[in-house]
A and B are shown apart, each in its own frame.
Chain A
Amino acid sequence: AQKITQTQPGMFVQEKEAVTLDCTYDTSDPSYGLFWYKQPSSGEMIFLIYQGSYDQQNATEGRYSLNFQKARKSANLVISASQLGDSAMYFCAMREYSGGGADGLTFGKGTHLIIQP
């Protein structure tokens, strides 16, 4: 079974609009972290935002916020006021911590976001 599911292979959004990228996850570990990374065409994965399973508040980092709904196992990324430079692949990922966290990140298949002028 997939641990991270991203159901939007591609999205087109008008510049300056807000965009929500969907992510659902599956784990039985009570201690886990959820990450969003951006991958431009250059290939480098750029860290955007992190949410821990015990965090009470939704994480925010500048224009990025994470809509964390624990009961639904959902961790959607919200980008406010989108810019042309936001065009990239976006990956949701999870790390389970109860085993020491050495099992790496599990990534979804990604969403290709294209911002249109």
Chain B
Amino acid sequence: ETGVTQSPTHLIKTRGQQVTLRCSSQSGHNTVSWYQQALGQGPQFIFQYYREEENGRGNFPPRFSGLQFPNYSSELNVNALELDDSALYLCASSLQGSGANVLTFGAGSRLTVL
């Protein structure tokens, strides 16, 4: 089975720009979630998508938005980038209704905002 893949692995943007990060879920998973991990910190939950709808959201402003596609892949969009948005963005997939709902993570996209 293929794991979670994310692209791009690294990117640099300037303040005020917009960015789109992409994620392919693990085969057989129907739920995708996104996390932001600042340097030296644990990951923070951004939002979760199930059946192409956002069904959970952390404490992030509306300029963080997402999509889930019928093949369960996903995008994270961030508008009006700020310096504090510099972080590792982790995508995770899981199977809703599988009991523990263990997340399988990708290797992340490292965003630098200048």
Residues on A lying within 8 angstroms of B by beta carbon are 4, 33, 35, 37, 42-47, 50, 52, 91, 93, 95, 100-110
Contacts and interface: CB of A to CB of B under 8 A. Distances in A.
Contact of A107 (B33, B43, B104): B43
Given A42-B107, A103-B58, A47 B102 contact: yes
A110 B37 CA distance: 12
Contacts of A43: 88, 90, 107-108, 110
Contacts of B20: none
B103 interface: yes
Interface stretch (B48-56, B62-70, B74-82): B48-56
Instruction: List 6 A-B pairs, minimum CB-CB distance, nearest first.
Output: A104-B45, A102-B56, A107-B42, A45-B105, A44-B107, A43-B108
A45 B100 contact: no
Interface of B: 33, 35, 40-48, 50, 55-56, 58, 88, 90, 92, 100-108, 110
Dominant secondary structure at the B interface: strand
Given A45-B92, A91-B43, A104 B101 contact: no
Interface centre among A42, A93, A101, A108 (most CB of B within 10 A): A101
A107 B40 CA distance: 12
Nearest to A89: B42
Given A33-B100, A110-B42, A104 B108 contact: no
A50 B56 contact: no
9 contacts: A33-B100, A43-B90, A44-B108, A102-B50, A102-B55, A102-B56, A104-B56, A105-B35, A107-B44
Contact of A45 (B44, B90, B110): B90
Contact of B41 (A42, A44, A102, A109): A109
Given A44-B105, A44-B107, A47-B103, A104 B35 contact: yes
Nearest to B101: A101
Given A43-B110, A45-B92, A104 B42 contact: no
Contact of A50 (B42, B43, B102): B102
